[in-house]
Amino acid sequence: MKTIGSLSLTLLLGMTLSASANDSVTEAIDNSKQWAIQTGDYANTRYSELDQINKDNVKDLRVAWTFSTGVLRGHEGSPLVIGDIMYVHTPFPNIVYALDLANDGRILWRYEPKQNPDVIAVMCCDTVFRGLAYADGKVFLHQADTTLVALDAKTGEVKWSVVNGDPTKGETNTATVLPVKDKLIVGISGGEFGVQGHVTAYSIETGEQLWRAYSVGPDDQLLVDPEATTELGKPIGKDSSINTWEGDQWQIGGGTTWGWYAYDPDLNLFYYGTGNPSTWNPAQRPGDNKWSMTIFARDPDTGMAKWVYQMTPHDEWDFDGVNEMILTDQEVDGQQRKLLTHFDRNGIAYTLDRESGELLVAEKYDPAVNWTTGVDMDPASETYGRPTVVAEYSTEQNGEDTNTTGVCPAALGTKDQQPAAFSPKTNLFYVPTNHVCMDYEPFRVSYAAGQPYVGATLSMYPAPGSHGGMGNFIAWDNIKGEIKWSLPEQFSVWSGALATAGDIVFYGTLEGYLKAIDAETGDELYRFKTPSGIIGNVMTYEQGGKQYIGVLSGVGGWAGIGLAAGLTNPTEGLGAVGGYAALSEYTALGGQLTVFELPD
């Protein structure tokens, strides 16, 4: 097993958040009584220093209050809390509520955009939205139709709006945005519609577009320097992307950027991953298909990429690389290093030096993963950094119109977008996972703008030979590259985790349970069943001297698309409907925020 050697882990939260970051955001993050950014901090740790609720008293939690969003479908993301105001979002039509926490949650204002409902048909896997952002007295909403809106945080007044994409081509949005300095970093969805993925910076003050960097294409569109931008320490070279595509396939090559973003203000780099190449039929796009399935480190001022690392070259399974990058500082052989940990859809957990892009650890975080024997970790090898594909599970080698069976993980990955958490008290990562396998049959498909460009039929089911369920919640040691403990779940864990200084970790289940776990042992300390399945991310805040825990419930997302969209054909929902058919026996649609407290 590949390890980093002797490491002493410390939390990046302790790093100096320099003036290079947006001052209003860093000040808000520094106040642990607030929940100022979707992932808790710029480092994406989802860790809170609040400890009023702890492992000794969490068993006494009770519901403090609830709020109905008025919308069904999948509720991902979480509310924000700035001062005494909570900002709550919904899935399409992307309503925003401002609630007065000092006045029984009275609605101060609401914003309900008028969007063309046709956008629903071009949203891949439910009409989810992963949450609002805050900076400089504004709340930012990136709507499903790609309209980016800046709202006055006090009044809800629209300060500016701009359109980031074209839904008629399949470009939509499901992700939150990242405020950095004077810029707002914004991604795009639509990999299943053959779009050319990109990340864009807009002015926080005016909404003016400042730069745009594509995931695939020529160097001037990628915003790379062929000699200065590196992969695993080597320059990527001229036309690094288009040389790995056949003809002009890159123009509809995917690589969308619908995941999470992290930022290191000391290095002045932000980090994110790119999604699957289009189409899902690998035979139609020979080559490595760079830079889909890639971790990017970019300068937010210019958009220029410092380094890249492609995790799944020539993806054959839809293993999008968009999951969050979690930033920590670690001591490596007596030397302090800045690291990045990423739990990829492909079932491999990566640890890299986030300054140089050096690969340090790459290990499976679910023993069911079988499409690869592992990643080549020999720097002298020609295949250094590449996964070794098992021929039996190669959908391309088996050929078009051939059903490749028993591939683990399924296309939704060992973990999808549901974010993990990190605790500096245990030096562990807490990871919600899918324990799911699939059958995958690629077929030839033609591109038409605004129409699905998938080219594969899937079916999903629990990983065989284990606990019979479809999920685990694990504690991961990113130094040793191994699982410390694992909690089996009947269904995938599609909720984002929260770790706190109270020595507990929270997550939600698809049946609707909020659970509290001992951060050290994994022992369950508390559970409460909310009105609908939880795919939201648990958050915490303090108001009036009291700590609260909040979570959105409302089943949906890819795993819950059958319930959310009323689908019944087992292969619908890109294969998820059949795999999660039993979910309807445990929960129903809903849209509610539930807030918990300790009794007085």
Q: Is the distance from CB of 113 to CB of 143 less than 8 angstroms?
A: yes
H helices present in 2-105, as ranges = 23-30
228 dihedral zone (left: phi>0; alpha: psi -120 to 50; beta): alpha
Is residue 279 reached through a cis peptide bond, with omega within 30 degrees of 0 on the bond before it? yes
Structure tokens at 133: 């952002």
3-state DSSP assignment of residue 28: helix
The alpha carbons of the chain give a radius of gyration, in whole angstroms, of 22
C-alpha–C-alpha distance, residues 424 and 426, integer Å: 6
CA 390, chain centre distance (Å): 27
- DSSP H or E stretch at residue 577: helix 576-579
Buried b or exposed e, range 284-318, using 16+ CB within 10 angstroms: bbebbbbbbbbbbbbebeebbbbbbbbbbbbbbbb
Cross-strand pairs, 82 = 85
State phi, psi for 117 to the nearest 5 degrees: -65, -10
Has 219 been annotated as catalytic? no
- Structural tokens at position 575: 């294969």
The alpha-helical segments, DSSP class H, found in 365-491 are 395-398
Torsion angle, CA of 26/95/212/413, rounded to 10 degrees?
90
User: With contact defined as beta carbons under 8 Å apart, do 85 and 101 qualify?
Assistant: yes
Check if the beta carbon of residue 34 is closer than 8 Å to that of residue 87: no
Which region, left, alpha or beta, applies to residue 463 given φ > 0 means left and ψ of -120 to 50 means alpha? beta
Rounded to 5 degrees, φ, ψ at 362 are -150, 100
CA separation (Å) from 3 to 104, 308, 399, 429, 479? Answer: 51, 22, 37, 16, 6
**Are 291 and 314 spatial neighbours (Cβ–Cβ below 8 Å)?**
no
Tokens found for residue 220: 């001037």
| Nearest one of 451, 453, 470 to 461, comparing CA atoms | 470
Q: Identify the active-site residue in 318, 320, 329, 353.
A: 318
299 contacts 20 by C-beta, under 8 angstroms: no
Active-site positions read 318
